[in-house]
Amino acid sequence: MNIVGITACTAGIAHTYIAKEKLIQAALSLGHNIKVETQGSIGVEDKLSAEDIANADIVILATDIGIGGLERFKNKQVVEVPIATVVKSPKSLIQKIQAKMANSYSKS
């Protein structure tokens, strides 16, 4: 899978970056490609390109606050979760998404 995501916590500091790293590590360990943008107290970092988004199979929004730029994900499958979900069990989250996508493809 090609995954893109955004992480953003209420303070915009620690959990934003912890969630980003955990998502990346989990996705890579499962053999997926991933790019993650952060939106925090210092603004947007590692902004997703239009090409990143176009190539994405899934968008993961791990946020506890409102984020900007959601219109970029129109016509994409989007999974929204609290940032704590990604911090606590990123691999499980990605495996659930993977299974759900496999089931939807097998029904087509």
* pLDDT tens figures, 11-60: 877 999 999 999 999 999 999 999 999 998 889 999 999 999 999 999 99
The answer to whether residues 89 and 26 touch, using CB atoms and an 8 Å cutoff, is: no
State the average pLDDT over residues 48-77: 96
Q: Which residues are catalytic?
A: 9
Residue 108 has pLDDT above 60, yes or no: no
State the average pLDDT over residues 80-87: 96
Q: Give CA–CA dist 58/66, Å, rounded.
A: 19
3-state secondary structure of 54: helix
State the average pLDDT over residues 60-71: 94
pLDDT at 106: 60
- The better pLDDT of the pair 42, 3 is held by 3
Farthest CA pair distance, the chain: 43
- What mean pLDDT is reported for the chain? 93
Tokens representing residue 35 in the block: 């790019």
Q: Give CA–CA dist 14/31, Å, rounded.
A: 26
